[in-house]
């Protein structure tokens, strides 16, 4: 065993190459089945973590992925996470909210889905606390469960809408706008919960941390954003280095520095990456051309692998732990679909469009995984709760595309129906 461990420890690039190749293969396999590639990448983390551990045993698993290698994978994964959130911030587009009907419908759908899903998630969290997370603070755990079930994964939702040809439909447009609003609400609520659950949870401590957060957002919007734009223009005109190279260096530095600042004020580095992307969203074309592919292929897989390698299935042996999976899944699906459907109908959307939007909003995927990792890192949830909520995120994402295709077969095509309604609203 010592010889085997020495072999793998001496070949860190072997493990990294395995992760990248496995992520691409699983992503391609899921894509062939009509699913999003990111689900395959998430599954790789589970396969390399709990599944490989159960198959090989603890000693062999430690030999293949020794502690030193895991630390390197986790570091690369954290960098990948910050840059991934940076990309999400770059692609945030508020143009969909310019149309009054779309903006009002999206706001209604987002609010309806968040309120009902949060309430049901918090209720299940309250009932499951003593079983799944007795060592975690009750308030933080309960509120976090509500947030976890309220999230909609905007990047995965956009990919599904594109694959189904719904990008120019009312259902697709409202879905994208509502998902963006939902994610903003989710991150704001998560920030508040982290502040409330910090080690200094006194009223003074909470107010101090909230003050730091608000101060950073104000400085970022009205101080850092104009400065970055001025630097971009200056470097493009006066630097001997190609403008694209300087722009990439500036964007990378901004993303990492914002991640560092949010960590200093007691938040997660992922939030800093998101804010940095929002600040520099006018530069998205440069990033897409030079960096996005590398981040998605060369860094993000390490984030999912590190997440999987940290999982501990030992606490999931009792049957009642798995019964909570059904409870979380039911609360997630019912909260999102019913809340968004009713809100869509109240906002004046047709039955068919409201139904399609409700199914789309049940997509959790990538953003949910990130939020769950933040909760785990911040001590808001246990390993058991993390794994169960991870399964819910994967299941609700996998069911989105088949359900939309089924709706298209059993009733009017969502895309055609939605396009007609969009044209009517424009007139």
Structure-derived torsion over alpha carbons of residues 202, 208, 214, 220, reported in degrees to the nearest 10: -140
In a domain? residue 7: no
CA dist., res. 37 & res. 31, Å (int): 5
Please give the pLDDT value at position 362.
Answer: 92
Question: Radius of gyration (Cα) for the chain, nearest Å?
Answer: 22
Cβ-contact 372, 393 below 8 angstroms: yes
CA dist., res. 316 & res. 115, Å (int): 29
Range of the domain at 273: 87-426
CA dist., res. 401 & res. 295, Å (int): 26
Nearest to 278 by CA among 93, 151, 95, 106: 93
Q: How many domains does the chain have?
A: 1
Cβ-contact 153, 364 below 8 angstroms: yes
In a domain? residue 79: no
Residue 212 sits in a domain of what CATH number?
1.20.1530.20
CA dist., res. 217 & res. 89, Å (int): 14
In a domain? residue 63: no
Any idea which residue has 């949910």 for tokens? Answer: 368
Please give the pLDDT value at position 148.
Answer: 92
In a domain? residue 41: no
CA dist., res. 300 & res. 370, Å (int): 11
Cβ-contact 186, 151 below 8 angstroms: yes
Half-sphere exposure in the Cβ direction for 131 (13 Å, CA): 17
In a domain? residue 304: yes
CA dist., res. 209 & res. 196, Å (int): 9
What does the buried/exposed string (b/e) look like for 360-389 if buried means 16 or more CB atoms within 10 Å of the residue's CB? Answer: bbbbbbbbbbbbbbbbbebbbbbbbbbbbb
Query: pLDDT 10s digit of each residue in the chain, 427 long?
Result: 456 555 555 567 777 888 888 888 888 888 787 776 777 777 777 777 666 665 666 666 666 677 777 788 888 888 988 888 888 788 766 555 555 677 788 899 999 999 999 999 999 999 999 988 888 889 889 999 999 999 888 777 877 777 777 767 888 888 888 888 888 888 888 877 877 766 555 666 667 777 877 888 888 888 888 888 888 777 767 655 566 677 788 889 999 999 898 888 777 787 888 888 888 887 777 788 888 888 888 888 888 888 777 766 555 556 667 789 999 999 999 999 999 999 999 998 889 899 999 999 998 877 788 888 888 888 889 888 888 898 898 889 888 888 888 887 665 544 444 444 444 333 3
Structure-derived torsion over alpha carbons of residues 11, 14, 16, 18, reported in degrees to the nearest 10: -150
Nearest to 297 by CA among 76, 65, 30: 76
Any idea which residue has 């259902």 for tokens? Answer: 171
Please give the pLDDT value at position 426.
Answer: 36
Q: What is the largest CA-CA distance in the chain?
A: 74
In a domain? residue 80: no
In a domain? residue 40: no
Nearest to 140 by CA among 270, 205, 148: 148
Interaxial angle between packed helices 400-410 and 351-361, expressed in degrees from 0 to 180 and rounded to the nearest 10: 170
Please give the pLDDT value at position 5.
Answer: 58
Which residues does 49 contact at the CB level (< 8 Å), separation at least 6? 305, 307, 308, 309, 310, 311
Cβ-contact 313, 55 below 8 angstroms: no
pTM: 0.76
Between the alpha carbon of residue 287 and those of residues 37, 293, 337, 427, the distances in Å are 21, 9, 35, 37
In a domain? residue 23: no
Half-sphere exposure in the Cβ direction for 43 (13 Å, CA): 18
């Amino acid at each position: 065993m010592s010889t085997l461990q020495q072999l793998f420890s001496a070949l860190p690039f072997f493990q990294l190459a395995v992760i990248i190749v496995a992520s691409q293969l699983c992503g391609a396999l899921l894509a062939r089945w009509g699913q999003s590639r990111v689900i395959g990448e998430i599954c790789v983390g589970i396969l390399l973590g709990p599944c490989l551990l159960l198959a090989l045993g603890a000693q062999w698993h430690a030999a293949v992925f020794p502690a030193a290698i895991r630390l390197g994978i986790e570091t690369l994964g954290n960098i990948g996470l910050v840059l991934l959130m940076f990309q999400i911030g770059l692609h945030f587009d508020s143009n969909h909210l310019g149309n009054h009907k779309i903006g009002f419908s999206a706001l209604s759908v987002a609010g309806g889905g968040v309120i009902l899903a949060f309430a049901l998630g918090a209720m299940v969290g309250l009932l499951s606390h003593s079983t799944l997370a007795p060592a975690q603070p009750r308030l933080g755990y309960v509120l976090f469960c509500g947030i976890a079930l309220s999230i909609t994964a905007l990047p995965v939702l956009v990919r599904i809408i594109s694959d189904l040809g719904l990008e120019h439909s009312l259902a697709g447009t409202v879905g994208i706008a509502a998902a963006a609003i939902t994610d903003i609400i989710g991150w704001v609520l998560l920030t508040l919960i982290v502040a409330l659950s910090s080690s200094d949870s006194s009223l003074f401590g909470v107010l101090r941390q909230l003050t730091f957060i608000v101060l950073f957002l104000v400085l970022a919007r009205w101080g850092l954003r104009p400065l970055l734009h001025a630097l971009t223009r200056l470097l493009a005109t006066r630097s001997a280095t190609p403008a694209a190279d300087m722009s990439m260096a500036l964007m990378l530095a901004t993303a990492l520095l914002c991640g560092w600042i949010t960590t200093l004020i007691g938040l997660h580095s992922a939030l800093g990456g998101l804010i940095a992307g929002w600040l520099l969203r006018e530069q998205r074309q440069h990033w897409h051309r030079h960096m996005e592919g590398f981040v998605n292929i060369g860094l993000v897989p390490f984030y999912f692998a590190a997440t999987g390698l940290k999982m501990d299935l030992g606490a999931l042996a009792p049957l009642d732990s798995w019964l909570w999976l059904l409870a979380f899944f039911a609360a997630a699906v019912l909260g999102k679909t019913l809340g968004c459907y009713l809100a869509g109908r109240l906002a004046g959307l047709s039955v068919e469009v409201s139904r399609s939007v409700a199914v789309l909003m049940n997509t959790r995927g990538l953003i949910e995984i990130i939020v769950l990792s933040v909760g785990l890192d911040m001590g808001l949830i246990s390993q058991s709760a993390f794994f169960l909520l991870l399964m819910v995120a994967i299941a609700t994402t996998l069911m989105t595309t088949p359900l939309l295709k089924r709706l298209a077969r059993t009733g009017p095509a969502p895309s055609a129906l939605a396009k007609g309604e969009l044209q009517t609203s424009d007139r």
